[in-house]
Amino acid sequence: MSIFLLLFFLSLLTITSAIYNGGRRRGGYRPDSWSSSSGESYEGHHHHHHSHSDEHYPPPRPRPPPRPRPPPRQQCQDGWKFFERPSGGWCMKVFPGTWNQATSESMCQAQGAVLSGMQNIAEINYIVSSALTVISPAVSGGVWVGIKRRAECMGQVLTGTCTKTNSFYWTDDSTTGIEGMVFQLNEPNNGNAPPGPSRNQDCALLTVGHTPTINAVSLYWSGQMDDISCASAAESFWPAGTLPRANRAYVCGKAANRRG
Ligand SMILES: [Ca+2]
């Protein structure tokens, strides 16, 4: 009994593969790596059972013109981490450094990159992990990322029009959406001055720590941002209690190379 069931499913599998392969040959699928590799393995399988298949299926159609080669793999230089983004391939690397935001941006540009935004949680996790490595032996700190306060929200606190996810925008010309725009609770608050133009938390630091939260006067979550002035901790006075989240690194990003 079970051997017949097995044969039944095997034949179903063969028919399904044949239908799939027929559809693929009519051009219903984009040429990419998985379809070409599964196609090749099927061809081998098909060849192996050549006499069996030919008794049950129409002869193969005339061979179509060669399909275009799969798109070349996107690559990053050694030490840069590749991420696939909706806007395309992106390479990221975290560097240690205690400069202010503008100088950190310049340091990235010297390498043909910019301060990187954060597309999603996977990128955030990578930055946290990599930053903790490069700032060692420090066990926590802040990382400059490619994000700036929108002009319309300068001097503003959180309001109906300047919200948690639209007060800032990504500056790297690559990051899209707000999945990676994760601010600490009640941030971005532009909270460094009384109401008015002296509120200038126009940049943001990503907090990183070996523990889920770090205590820097109050609790800050690792992997979340806080808006802050674009000055470095050294340029502007940071009380000792706040230093566990002082800027100690920055993350650069650039478009991935395409090479075939
Ligand atoms: Ca803030």
Q: Is the peptide bond before 188 cis (omega within 30 degrees of 0)?
A: yes
Q: Please tell me the distance between residue 228's alpha carbon and the centre of ligand 1 in angstroms.
A: 5
Share of the chain above pLDDT 70, in %: 76
Domain annotation covers residue 190? yes
Domain membership of residue 52 (yes or no) is no
Residue 129 pLDDT grade (very low, low, confident, very high; cuts 50, 70, 90): very high
Judge whether 112 lies within some domain. Answer: yes
Whole-number Å distance, alpha carbon 191 to ligand 1 midpoint, is 5
Q: Which of 17, 62, 23, 13 is nearest to 43 (CA)?
A: 17
Structural domains of the chain, count: 1
**Are 230 and 100 spatial neighbours (Cβ–Cβ below 8 Å)?**
yes
User: What is the domain extent for residue 250?
Assistant: 80-258
CA of 115 to the centre of ligand 1 (A): 19
Residue 102 is assigned to a structural domain of this protein: yes
Whether the Cβ atoms of residue 112 and residue 120 lie closer than 8 Å to each other: no
Between 151 and 6, the more confident residue is 151
- Span 52-61, average pLDDT: 65
Distance 224 CA to ligand 1 centre (A): 12
CA of 226 to the centre of ligand 1 (A): 5
The whole-number pLDDT of residue 71 equals 65
Q: E-assigned strands of 202-246?
A: 203-209, 213-216, 218-221, 225-228
Distance from the alpha carbon of residue 81 to the mean position of ligand 1, in angstroms: 29
- Mean pLDDT of all residues in 135-145: 98
Residue 55, in any domain of the structure: no
Look at residue 86 and tell me if it is in a domain: yes
Phi (first) and psi of residue 76, to 5 degrees: -120, 155
What would you measure as the largest C-alpha separation in the chain, in angstroms? Answer: 84
* pLDDT at site 64: 80
More confident residue, 75 or 97: 97
The pLDDT assigned to 7 comes to 45
pLDDT at 55 over 50: yes
Rounded to whole angstroms, how far apart are CA atoms 113 and 78? 14
All residues at 6 or more sequence positions from 247 whose CB lies less than 8 Å from its CB, including other chains = 98, 99, 100, 101, 104, 141, 142, 143, 144, 205, 232, 233
Distance 227 CA to ligand 1 centre (A): 4
pLDDT, position 59: 74
Residue 48 falls inside a structural domain: no
Question: In CATH, what number is assigned to the domain containing residue 147?
Answer: 3.10.100.10
H and E: helices and strands count for the chain: 5, 13
CB atoms within 10 A of CB 192: 13
User: Is 118 part of any domain?
Assistant: yes
Lowest mean pLDDT among 38-42, 140-144, 234-238, 244-248: 38-42
